[in-house]
Amino acid sequence: MDTHGSRTRITKAFTFDAAHWLPGVPEGHKCRRLHGHTYQVIVALEGELHPTLGWVVDYGEVSRVVDPVVRELDHHCLNEIPGLENPTAEILAAWLYRRLLPDLPLLADVTVSETPRTSAVYRPLA
């Protein structure tokens, strides 16, 4: 199968549990109070298929890079982590992208879901 010149997108999902509050929302807003989520993080990578292996990146390599970062967040209060003082899903997605990109150069975007019905996707401008 000739895939030369084409790009393939792969994704891998991770989960962690953490607490947070949103200090920027008005008093009385439910998100101003400390609460928690089971977050889902989906990292997406895009690139050409390796000519012999037939993949973009080994999923094991993706886990090797992402797992330690997820462990930093798991069962912590996100507000206490530098750069996440206002830990909206949008800010968390961008924070994760910046942390992962040096070791995953084919990283295309990061999606963070706080609930099954809400998510934020961070991708840099082209």
What is the amino acid identity at position 87? P
Counted domains in the chain: 1
CB 19 within 8 A of CB 87: no
Report residue 123 as tokens: 């991708």
| In a domain? residue 2 | no
Side-chain half-sphere of 108: how many Cα atoms within 13 Å? 14
Length of the chain: 126
Is the pLDDT at 1 greater than 70, yes or no?
Answer: no
State pLDDT tens for residues 92-119. 999 999 999 999 999 999 999 999 999 9
State pLDDT tens for residues 65-80. 999 999 999 999 999 9
Domain containing 62 equals: 8-122
Instruction: Evaluate if pTM is beyond 0.85.
Output: yes
Say how far apart CA 36 and CA 56 lie, in whole Å. Answer: 34
Neighbours of 57 (CB within 10 A): 20
Q: What's the CATH number where 88 sits? A: 3.30.479.10
| In a domain? residue 1 | no
Q: Which residues are part of the catalytic machinery?
A: 31, 75, 114
| In a domain? residue 3 | no
